[in-house]
Amino acid sequence: MSIQTHRAERLPAQPGSVEFDADVLVLGGGPAGTWAAVSAAERGARVLLADKGFCGTSGATAAAGTGVWYIDPDPALREAAMANREKMGGYLQDRRWMARVLDRTYQQSNRLADWGYPYPVDEHGRSQRNSLQGPEYMRLMRKRTKQAGVAILDHSPALELLVDDNGAVAGASGVRRQKQDRWTVRAKAVVIATGGCAFLSKTLGSNVLTGDGYLMAAEAGAEFTSMEFSNPYAISPAFGSVTKTLFYGWATFTYADGSVVPGAASKGGRSAIARALLRGPVYARLDKADDGVQRHMRVSQPNFFLPFDRTGIDPFRDRFPVTLRLEGTVRGTGGLRIIDDACATSLPGLYAAGDAATRELICGGFTGGGSHNAAWAMSSGLWAGQGAADYARQIGTTTARRLLSAATVAFRDRPRRAFDPAALAKAVQGEVFPYELNYFRDASRLNGALARLDAGWRDVAEAGPADPADVFRAREAAAMLATARWMYRSALARQESRGMHRRDDFPDQDGRQRHYVTTGGLDEVWTSVRPHADAVHAEAAE
Amino acid sequence: MIEVIDAERCTSCDICVTACPTNVFDKTDGIPVIARQSDCQTCFLCELYCPEDALYVSPFADEAQLIDVVMLKRTDVLGSYRRAVGWTDDTRDRRGVDRSYLLFGH
Ligand SMILES: Cc1cc2nc3c(=O)[nH]c(=O)nc-3n(C[C@H](O)[C@H](O)[C@H](O)COP(=O)(O)OP(=O)(O)OC[C@H]3O[C@@H](n4cnc5c(N)ncnc54)[C@H](O)[C@@H]3O)c2cc1C
Ligand code: SF4
Ligand code: SF4
């Protein structure tokens, strides 16, 4: 028996551009995007996936690999898995969503096993499924995406969303970097799976993640939530890019003189490392790992050792300098607000998955080292793909729709006011990298940064790059700028410390602020609060 | 950052041009060139995709390094990441040896 696949169609187009017609367009080809594409295609949709880089190597998962929140369907184990992170996340998780993500992740992981993912087998002969090697996983996902009949455009960043006369999202357009032309896809529904925003910090695999999807969605009017939880910093050798932090659980952190940094630890003591780095270099040595652990480390994360093996450092015996690189919303929990179980956003026709969407529902205000992001990417990807396919079927024929660009910055060129994308990106980094601004927050410092960022936005909002070939970079820098403003505006709105958000001027968690902060807007950034689901239920019961 | 395309080993298959997520390489009539080194994100993935072990990514993420290719080829570093993840014919068994489950929760 052969399964009928439906494919996106190529349409006639102007010279210098290509055009396609699809039911579902997926932007981003990491785990969230590929799962979305496969699940939409399995629902009978004609699907096209566009990735900024190469679907299979691009994004945080492909380069880094992930632990996965894979828990056997034993009620006691599931209950413990949900309960043990609630405090860390500041009690902002939603139990119903946690339960459905645990279910989904279990099923998806087992599907990966059926597809031939080489899960390791333990000494009792049991297949262990709570870790995925990045290159292996994403190579398999690319293969399955193609087999599902999905057309893939590689090296094809999306730059703007297209909307119809009613404001419904109806496609996107971008550039093909290796062909030096433009692409346009008319679609009935769009899934944003462009990952988070790591501000070009070189945290592993994340320089393709500049918040592009946020900017595009905001221009069309979408909302964000939990953007204050966007300041995780990851440990790496000072000179390197490998921000994999698990093994630093076996490290001792020291000052230049060899004395131990008090309170410093990978888990629960990272702020002590940040404070020490504000004063001078900090060194690490993985001296708590015995021979057996060292052997397991080598085979489990071969890329962790590349910076050491290639510089002659023995990380178990030698001290090496470390730094903390900002990971923004990649290991934060903020993102596009989703409004239903199918991961629809507040805009008709637009769905969000993975790091592009909020992870507040399962992580609250804290993630990192928890395997939740990977579980969320595969679960939300599947739901968004199915939701988009169902929506596309329901709206029926759309051939007559007139499509308009939703894009603003870099698309409304005023040639006299050109800006340099690299300089803008650097200016944004100057506001979001410093630990004293972003790790340790405070109203006066946040206000200072926001004043500069808002002024930056006024400068570029109506401008573009001098060279049209730089539109792609200009959009990246503008997306970073917009993301920084939602992040800090939300951080000001939360006048307490909760999850990863810490305020020097409000060091405690405040029981009355167990709510979500919503944000959005470009020229004017706004915030508002939404109650947590428990508060809603409590009111309903009264 | 990416530092070396070894002209002796490279067969101009252009796989690296396609596989690099940040579009660092350009095709030419012969072997590819590192056209935008400063865009390299030091993810090491091109090394995994090069079938000839002709690429070397230096672990220094922020600055370029001078590399002595002759010395480099006297070591076994070329292809070392590909062998470690089990993506060569004689290291296939390493694809399924992840022991993360013994290390989580430390
Ligand atoms: C070092 C590191 C270690 C991590 N470890 C863990 C872990 O152990 N457990 C865990 O749960 N999570 C972990 N994470 C987080 C996890 O990797 C992410 O949550 C996950 O990759 C999210 O998947 P995604 O598909 O949403 O995004 P990504 O995997 O980042 O993929 C996004 C894709 O979108 C593409 N894209 C971006 N912009 C555009 C555009 N304009 N147009 C088209 N395409 C675009 C990118 O090229 C990329 O392919 C880690 C992250 C890092 C950085
Ligand atoms: S992948 Fe390797 S062999 Fe192929 S072109 Fe690139 S460097 Fe040469
Ligand atoms: S290390 Fe990564 S970013 Fe750099 S050239 Fe290789 S694949 Fe491209």
- Same structural domain, A42 and A116: yes
Domain that holds residue A506: 421-538
Is there a domain that residue A10 lies in?
no
Backbone angles phi, psi at A333, to 5 degrees: -125, 5
Which ligand 2 atom sits nearest the alpha carbon of residue B9? Answer: 3
The pairing of strands B2-5 and A233-237 is unpaired
CATH code of the domain covering residue A72: 3.50.50.60
Choose which residue among B29, B50, B81 to substitute to test ligand 2 binding: the one with the highest number of ligand atoms within 8 A of its C-beta.
B50
> Where are the strands (E) in A64-105, listed by range?
66-67
- A1 domain residue, yes or no: no
- A326, A347, A362 — which closes off a domain? A326
Across the interface, do A133 and B98 touch by the CB < 8 Å criterion?
A: yes
Q: Are residues A57 and A117 in the same domain?
A: yes
| Nearest to A112, CA basis, from A94, A137, A95 | A137
Residue A128 in contact with partner chain B when CB distance is under 8 A: yes
In 3D space, the residue among A468, A465, A424, A483 whose CA is nearest the CA of residue A175 turns out to be: A468
Per CB-CB distance under 8 Å, the chain B contacts of A246 are 100, 103-104, 106
Domains observed in chain B: 2-102 (3.30.70.20)
Comparing CA positions, the residue from A156, A327, A120, A303 lying closest to residue A231 is: A327
Shared-domain flag, residues A384 and A532: no
CB contact under 8 A, A67 and B104: yes
A119 touches chain B (CB under 8 A): yes
What is the β-pairing status of strands A169-176 and A181-192?
antiparallel
**Residue A4 within any structural domain of the chain:** no
The answer as to whether A521 is a domain residue is: yes
* ipTM computed for the complex: 0.98
Digitized pLDDT (tens) for each residue of chain B, 106 residues in all: 999 999 999 999 999 999 999 999 999 999 999 999 999 999 999 999 999 999 999 999 999 999 999 999 999 999 999 999 999 999 999 999 999 999 997 7
- Locate A68 and state its tokens: 């996965």
**Domain end: A309, A326, A343, which one?**
A326
Nearest to A426 by CA among A458, A456, A454, A455: A456
The answer to whether residue A85 is domain-embedded is: yes
Sign of the CA dihedral running A294, A298, A299, A304: positive
Give backbone dihedrals phi and psi of A470, rounded to 5 degrees, phi first.
Answer: -95, 10
| A7 assigned to some structural domain | no
Q: Distance (Å, rounded) from C-alpha B65 to C-alpha A396? A: 57
Q: Which of A326, A343, A368 is the last residue of a domain?
A: A326
- Asked if residue A91 is part of any domain, the answer here is yes
Closest CB to A119: pick one of B81, B96, B102: B96
pLDDT in tens, chain A (542 residues): 445 668 999 999 999 999 999 999 999 999 999 999 999 999 999 999 999 999 999 999 999 999 999 999 999 999 999 998 899 999 999 999 999 999 999 999 999 999 999 999 999 999 999 999 999 999 999 999 999 999 999 999 999 999 999 999 999 999 999 999 999 999 999 999 999 999 999 999 999 999 999 999 999 999 999 999 999 999 999 999 999 999 999 999 999 999 999 999 998 899 999 999 999 999 999 999 999 999 999 999 999 999 999 999 999 999 999 999 999 999 999 999 999 999 999 999 999 999 999 999 999 999 866 799 999 999 999 999 999 999 999 998 877 789 999 998 888 766 667 899 999 999 999 999 999 999 999 999 999 999 999 999 999 998 888 888 899 999 999 999 999 999 999 999 999 999 999 999 999 999 999 999 999 999 999 999 999 988 766 655 54
Please indicate, yes or no, whether the overall pTM of this predicted structure exceeds 0.95: yes
Residue A454: CATH number of its domain: 1.20.58.100
The ligand 2 atom nearest the CA atom of B15: 1
Q: What is the pLDDT of residue A84?
A: 87
Same domain, A265 and A342: no
Q: How high does pLDDT run on average in chain B?
A: 97
CATH code of A283's domain: 3.90.700
The verdict on residue A8 lying in a domain is no
Provide φ and ψ at A284, rounded to 5°: -130, 155
The rounded Å distance from CA A137 to ligand 1 centre is: 13
Tell me what pLDDT residue A172 has: 98
Pair A312, A355 in one domain: no
Q: Is A315 on the interface with B (CB under 8 A)?
A: no
> What is the number of structural domains in chain A?
3
Same domain, A171 and A188: yes
What's the A118 CA to ligand 3 centre distance in angstroms?
25
* CB distance A438 to ligand 1 below 6 Å: no
Please name the member of A58, A300, A306 whose beta carbon is closest to the beta carbon of B44.
Answer: A306
* A50 C-beta closer than 6 A to ligand 1: yes
